Amino acid sequence: MEIVLAIMIGILYAAGIYMILRRSLVKLILGIIILGNGANLLIFLLGRITKGSPPIIPGDLKIFEAAYADPIPQALILTAIVISFGLQSFAIILIKRAYKVVKTDDLDEMNAIDQDS
């Protein structure tokens, strides 16, 4: 299970970075989204995967007796997902505005700011 996840995270990171390096704005956003998903899965994987033992102490015990799933990575992922969702929606509006104003989605042509003003 871990090895499959590890390979998948690798693919997501690679695909994300590849998409960010493309010139199109839409692919840039897709790249950021994919990269974000890769990072979330990485937190999930590195928090150690424990199957079928939720972190709930049975009523008659004071402490955990067996290994239990760590709830913190899931809380972290939830936070990261919410944040990246906000950022992505901002990004989509931004590229829509940029496309309307600059009239191109090619990053190489967005170079007006590099000229002297």
110 binds another protein (CB under 8 A): yes
Between 3 and 111, CB nearer to another protein: 111
C-alpha span between 61 and 71 (Å, rounded): 19
Between 45 and 69, CB nearer to another protein: 45
113 binds another protein (CB under 8 A): yes
- Taking CB under 8 A as the binding criterion, the range among 24-32, 49-57, 58-66 that sits at the site for another protein is 24-32
30 binds another protein (CB under 8 A): no
56 binds another protein (CB under 8 A): no
69 binds another protein (CB under 8 A): no
92 binds another protein (CB under 8 A): no
